[in-house]
Amino acid sequence: MANWMIQLAKPLMPLYNLLLDQLNEYNIASLDATWLQVLKENGRKPQTKSKVWCFNGGSPETPVVIFE
């Protein structure tokens, strides 16, 4: 199910970079790191935990939220 997201990563990279620039232009941002278990991840045991990052920031006129 995630293969289409992986295939979209390269063409969407310029948009991601613009969002990151917008996030970094303002002086206030927040970050949340959450642990989760990913099953069937290549080269890793199913018991291994992975991190999901949520960045929130940007100016009040153009807020940005990025999940990584």
The residue type at 39: L
Q: Mapping DSSP to helix (H, G, I), strand (E, B) and coil, where does residue 44 land?
A: coil
Residue 9 CA from chain centroid, whole number: 11
Tell me the pLDDT tens digit for each residue of 24-54.
999 989 999 999 888 877 888 888 888 899 9
- pLDDT for position 13: 94
Q: Output 50-56 pairs: Cβ under 8 A, ≥24 positions apart.
A: 55/23, 55/29, 55/30, 55/31, 56/29, 56/30, 56/31, 56/32
- Note the pTM of the prediction, 2 decimals: 0.69
